[in-house]
Structure 1
Amino acid sequence: MLIIEHLKAMTFSDAENQIADYLIKHPHELDQLTTQNLANFTHTNPNSVIRLAKKLGFDGWTSLRTEYQKEWQYLNSHFNVIDANIPFDNKDDVITIMHKLAQLEQNTISDTVSLVERDALVKARTLLLEANQIIVFASLTNANIATDFITKMRRIGMPVTLSSEFDISVYEAYNASPDTCGLIISYTGENATYIHCGKFLKEKDAKILSLTNMGDNQIARMSDCNLSITTRERLYSKIGNFTSNTSIIYLLDLLYSVVFAANYQKNLDHLIQIGQAYDGRKTTNALIEEAGSLAGKPAYEVLE
C-alpha cells in the first residue's frame, strides 16, 4: 500500500488527522519542512507529527517526508498523457493505437528505471551470483514472461528453474537450502501462496529477491532485496497488463544483463561457442547472417 493510501485509510487521533489531511493536500510543499513547521501549519504539536510518522512505520518526520516526496514525484511523472489502464479509446484508429502503445511502452521503461536504485540492483546481482539454486516463483502471465529470463540464464550456466504451480511451489520453498535464492514475482506483493513460500524460504535461511509493486506489501517486506514494478495499473479495470508486463520484462532483462556483465567476456565467448556448435538456422537476409562455415547448416549436420 502506498503512503498516501495509508494516510487516507488509517485511523488517527484528531491532531494526527489534521496532519494527514495536510500531507494529502500539500505533498508538493513539504521540501525542507521541519517537524515544528508542520505542527505550526496544522495547529498541532511536534509530538503529534512524530506519532503519525511512527504509525506509518517510519522512525520520524524526516524519513516519512523523504519517502512521501519520492512517492509523490513518482506518481506525478512519466504518465501524464497516456493512461496505463485505458491507453486508447473506441474512437482511435489503428495508427493512433499504434503510437499510443509505443508511447506507453516508452513511458513504462522510463518509469521502471526511476524506481531502480543502484544499491538494490547490486544486491540483486549478488544474490543471484552467489546462489547454487535459483527458483523463480511466478504464476500465469508472469510465469510465461519468466520463461525467457530462465532460458537466457541457463544458457550461461546459471542454475535457474521455474515454480509456477501453487501446490508445487510450497514444496519447493520448503525444500530450499541456505544457498537457494527464491525470485518471487507478484504485482500485488500479497499473493497468499507466495507469502507462504517466502516464510518457508526464510525458515530455510534461503535468500529472497522479489519483484512487486512499489507500495508497502508483505512479499517486499520479507525479501532480502526488492525491485519495484511500475505501479500504474489497477487490478482488473483495464484493457490489458501493458505496463506491468513491460516492466517485469525489463527488470528480468536487467537482472540477466547485470549477471552476464559480471563475467562478460567469458559469457559472450560461451554463447558464441554454443551458437557455432549448434545453431544451423538458415537465412536469406544478409543483415542477420552469421559469418563462418557453420552458418546455414542444419543442426544435426553441425553436431555430427
Structure 2
Amino acid sequence: MDILREMRESPELTPAEQQLAQTILDLGERLQSMSIKELARVASVSISSVHRLCKKLGLEGYKELKVAYARAMASQGPHAIPVDINFPFSAGDEPSKIAARMTALYESTLVDTLNLIDQDSLAAASQLMANAQRIDIYAHSHNIHPAQMFEERLISIGKHVSCPTTWEREIRCALGSKEGHVALIISYSGISSYVHELLPVLKERGVPVVFIGSPAVKRRHPNLSTYLFVSDRESLQNRITQFSSHIAVQFVLDTLYSCIFALDYERDKAFLTDTIPYTMLGRHHPVAMGIGAKG
C-alpha cells in the first residue's frame, strides 16, 4: 500500500489525523514547497500532530513524508506530470499548457481510481445489478448527468431502471423498493443529506446498496453491500470545479456497465441489435414512418 492509500484508508488514524491527511492529499504538488510550520497552519493543527501522523505512516519525519508523497504522485501514471487536481492551470496559461494540464489531470485521476477499485467489489456489484429485477439510481448535482447516461445504457440492454431526479421522486422510489431491487447511490463524499435520508429506508426494506464515492464513504456509511471507490484528491470546496470527481465517476460507471454487459454478452448484444430498428435512425421510428412529420 503506497503513502496515498495509507492516508486515505488506514484504520489507525484518528479523526484529527484523517483530517490532516486529507489536507495533505488536497494540497497535491503544493506540499513540496511548504514547510512543516506552513502545513500545520493550513491544516489548523500543531507541528507535533504532523510528526505523529508521519510516525503512524511509518515515516521518520516530514522530509521523508514529502519524498514518499512525491514518489507516489509521480507513479500515478507512466507519463504523469505533477498537477494540482483542484487548480490544474493558472491565470495567463496558454491553451496548450491548459490542455497538457488537463491531460495530466485525466491520467492521474483514472490511474488513481483504477488503483482504488477492488476487483471483488466490482464483480459483486456487477452481479447484483445483472440479477436485479429493478435498479434504482440515486444521484444529485453534477452526478445526475452520468447517472442518467448509465440509466440509458442499462435500458438499452433490457434492464429495468429508474433514475429519479427530484427528492420527492427519490424517496418515493426508495419507499417502493422491495426484494429483488438494487440501489446504486453516487455521492463523492457521502455527506449529502439525501444519502442520510435514503439509507435507513433502503436498509429497512432489505435493498442491497452499491455505493460509488471516495474511500471516506465507507467510514461514514459502513456495512453496505459493496463500495466502488473513486479518486479522492479533489477538495469539496476549494477548487475550480468538479473536474476529477466527474471523470472518476464516469469511469467507474462505464466500467460497471461493461462488466454487467460482459456477464451475458451474447444476450445483451442481441437485445441491442433487436432495438436498432426502433431507434432514431431505425425504420420503425415514428419520424422514419412519417408520424408527426411536418406537412
Query: After TM superposition, is the score higher than 0.5?
Result: yes
Shift of the 213–99 alpha-carbon distance from structure 1 to 2, 3 Å rule, reads same
Higher relative contact order (CA 8 A, sep 6+): 2
**TM-aligned CA deviation for residue 214 of structure 1:** 1.1
1:77-96 equivalence runs, <5 A: 78=76, 81-96=82-97
Aligned ranges 1:132-143 → 2 under 5 Å:
132-143=133-144
Q: In terms of Rg, which structure is larger?
A: 1
Q: Is the 8 A contact 1:123 1:225 kept in 2?
A: yes
> What does 1:30-49 align with in structure 2 at a 5 Å threshold?
none
Task: Please list the CA deviations of residues 256-289 of structure 1 after superposition, one character each: whole Å capped at 9, or x if unmatched.
Answer: 10000011122112212322554528xxxxxxxx
Other-structure match for 1:145: 146
Q: How far does residue 168 in structure 1 lie from its aligned partner after superposition?
A: 2.7
Give the 3-state SS of the residue equivalent to 2:241 in structure 1.
Answer: coil
Q: CA deviation at 1:163?
A: 2.1
Matched, 1:117 2:106: no
Task: Please say if residues 109 and 247 of structure 1, whose CA atoms lie closer than 8 Å, have aligned partners that are also in contact.
Answer: yes
Question: Structure 1: which 5+ residue stretches go unaligned?
Answer: 11-18, 31-40, 42-70, 282-293
1:174 maps to which residue? 175
Residue 92 to residue 5, structure 1, CA distance change in 2 (3 Å):
farther
Give 3-state SS (helix, strand or coil) of 1:300's partner: coil
Query: Which 10-residue stretch deviates more, 148-157 or 158-167?
Result: 158-167
Instruction: Please say if residues 82 and 104 of structure 2, whose CA atoms lie closer than 8 Å, have aligned partners that are also in contact.
Output: no
Can you list the C-alpha shifts for 1:28-62, whole angstroms capped at 9, x where unaligned?
537xxxxxxxxxx9xxxxxxxxxxxxxxxxxxxxx
Cα deviation for residue 166 of structure 1 reads: 1.8
Instruction: Check 1:140–1:126 CA distance in 2 against 1; reply closer, same or farther (3 A cut).
Output: same
- 1:276 & 1:97 partners in 2: Cα distance? 43
Q: 1:243 — aligned with what? A: 244
Q: In the alignment, what sits opposite 1:29?
A: 58
**Pair 1:137–1:130, CA change in 2 (3 A):** same
> Compared with structure 1, are the counterparts of its residues 160 and 218 closer, same or farther at alpha carbon in structure 2 (3 Å cutoff)?
farther
C-alpha spacing 1:77/1:228, structure 2 compared with 1 (3 Å): farther
| Superposition TM-score, scaled by structure 2 size | 0.72
Which residue identity lines up with residue 280 of structure 1 in the other structure? L
Q: Give the C-alpha shift of residue 20 in structure 1.
A: 7.8
The answer as to 2:11 corresponding to 1:6 is no
Match of 2:39 in 1: none
Equivalent residue for 1:55? none
The aligned counterpart of 2:274 is 273
CA distance in 2, matches of 1:147, 1:103: 27
Shift of 1:125: 0.9
Aligned 1:221-300 pairs, distance under 5 A: 221-276=222-277, 278-280=279-281, 299-300=288-289
Q: Distance in 2 between matches of 1:253 and 1:189?
A: 21
Aligned residues: 242
CA distance in structure 1 between the partners assigned to 2:81 and 2:104 by the alignment: 11
The two structures have a TM-score, normalised by structure 1, of: 0.70
Distance in 2 of aligned mates of 1:76 and 1:136: 35
* Cα distance in 2, alignment partners of residues 162 and 92 from structure 1: 39
